[in-house]
Amino acid sequence: MKGFPTRAPVELEDRPRAQQWMVEALWSEQGVGIVGGEPKCGKSFLALDLAVAVAAGVPCLRHYRPAGSGTVLLFAAEDAGHIVRARLQGIASAAGTNFESLDIAVIDVPALRLDHGNDRRRLLETVERIEPRLVVLDPLVRLHGVDENAVAEVAPILGFLRDLQRRFETAVLLVHHARKSGAARPGQALRGSSELHAWGDSNLYLRRRDKQIVMTVEHRAAPGLNDIEIELADDGEGLALRPRRTLPQETAPEPETAEQRIVEILAEAEAPLSQRQIRERAATRATTVTAALQTLTRERRVERAPEGGYRIALAAAKHRQDPLPKTVSASNS
């Protein structure tokens, strides 16, 4: 057979909603993403809390339940072994699980560089051997020597991690720093290229609001949660994060369909968008966008603008009580 293998949509994996979360409402199954925030906001504690939740099958932050348990592969570039041990021990104590039996494999090297071919190969070999459900790399800035603001230099690193996720069917969590910024969305405050924000399937952002730490949850294929106030506390055995108040029981949000995402993108656009522009804003595959646009056009929720591009259909725009986007020409991809 020449070229790439293909499958019909009906042949693609149909994953039940209950299997779409690794940690309910916080992290998608086999998702890549970032735990980001300003310095001293508890990013590493949150990443380790997720690691303990997955490794031991206990609720993250004592509230968000994992879908089963599995091995976690961890590399903590900035913290000495005794610090990592103390943090994991404190989180395990707060979670009511046995520290000695945590299914976490800690990579024991002084440095790991994702921009070095040899280190990439060794990481692939380690993932193949360990078969982790989650890979935690903390922090990104210590894992490379490239210019984080240059898309051409950051994209190969993110592409490698996405390939690792797909090849070994694992989740990948990067801890990354954010600037002190007044950005409207927390992800826009991440240091470096906007590729970092667009890359994640599940992203958790921490920032300080007055004296409190606030967590924002963002997903590619599901609604996020309302902002959650958390705090770093010591129950006598060590430090661990916890919600500042009792959270109501929540069911995991329904994943957002490609059609819903495209309608949102077109509703927010000031002019019709080409298929390529839609694909870039939705951060999804071209085949997915093509199929979704065909469905939306057939259902008369989206239409082609006379000068080119796609927009919300006139009838649908009136139904939404939204103004019709301006008909400015936009060429198709």
Same domain, 105 and 210: yes
Residue 308 belongs to what domain range?
258-320
| Domain annotation covers residue 330 | no
Q: Give whole-number Cα distances, 147 to 93, 152, 154, 193, in Å.
A: 39, 9, 7, 9
- Model confidence pLDDT, tens digit, residues 58-88: 999 999 999 999 999 999 999 999 999 999 9
Is a pLDDT exceeding 70 seen at residue 148? yes
The total number of structural domains in the chain stands at 2
The confidence score (pLDDT) of residue 26 equals 96
> Do 133 and 282 fall into the same domain?
no
pTM listed for this prediction: 0.72
pLDDT, tens only, 113-144: 999 999 999 999 999 999 999 999 999 999 99
Specify the length of the chain in residues: 333
Do 174 and 27 sit in the same domain of this protein?
Answer: yes
- Average pLDDT score over the chain: 87
- Co-location of 192 and 159 in the same domain: yes
Residues 205 and 288 in one domain: no
What average pLDDT does range 206-211 have in this prediction? 83
Instruction: Please give the torsion angle defined by the CA atoms of residues 272, 277, 281 and 287, in that order, rounded to the nearest 10 degrees.
Output: 110
The domain that holds 37 is classified in CATH as 3.40.50.300
End-of-domain residue from the set 214, 243, 272: 243
